[in-house]
Amino acid sequence: MKKALFPGSFDPLTLGHFDIISRGVHLFDEVVIAIGINAEKKYMFTLEERKKFIEDAFKDEPKVKVVTYKGMTIDFCKEINAEFILRGLRNPADFEFEKAIAHTNRKLSKIETVFLLTAARTSYISSSIVRDVIRNKGDYKVLVPDSVRVK
- pLDDT tens, residue by residue, 57-67: 999 999 999 99
Domain that holds residue 76: 3-148
- The reply, when asked if residue 8 is annotated as ligand binding, is no
Q: Which of 26, 41, 107, 137 is catalytic?
A: 41
Q: Is 78 annotated as a binding residue?
A: no
Count other C-beta atoms under 10 Å from residue 49's C-beta: 18
What pLDDT shows up at residue 127? 96
As a whole number, mean pLDDT of residues 11-40 equals 96
Distance CA 90, CA 136 (A): 24
Residue 26 is among the residues annotated as catalytic for this protein: no
pLDDT tens by residue, 29-48: 999 999 999 878 899 999 99
Sign of CA dihedral 87, 88, 94, 95: positive
Residue 90 falls in the annotated catalytic set = yes
Give the global pTM.
Answer: 0.94
Which residue among 3, 65, 90, 106 is the active-site one?
90
Is pLDDT of 140 > 80? yes
Binding site annotation covers 73? yes
Q: What is the mean pLDDT of residues 9-37?
A: 97
Report how far residue 49's alpha carbon sits from residue 90's, in angstroms, rounded to the nearest whole number.
25
Q: How much is the pLDDT for 65?
A: 98
Condensed to tens digits (0 to 9), the pLDDT of residues 96-138 reads 999 999 999 999 999 999 999 999 999 999 999 999 999 999 9
Q: How far apart are CA 65 and CA 58, in angstroms?
A: 9
User: Which letter, b or e, does each residue of 61-99 get, where b requires 16 or more Cβ atoms within 10 Å of its Cβ?
Assistant: eeebbbeebeeebbebbeeeebbbbbbbbbeeebeeebe
Bridge partners of 115? Answer: 87
Rounded average pLDDT over 57-85: 97
Residue 140 among known ligand-binding residues: no
Are 140 and 44 in contact by the 8 Å Cβ rule? The answer is no
- Asked whether the predicted pLDDT for residue 146 surpasses 90, the reply is yes
Give the CATH number of the domain where residue 22 resides.
3.40.50.620
Question: What pLDDT does residue 6 have?
Answer: 98
pLDDT, residue 39, reads: 78
Give the chain's domain count. Answer: 1
Residues 7-17, mean pLDDT to the nearest whole number: 97
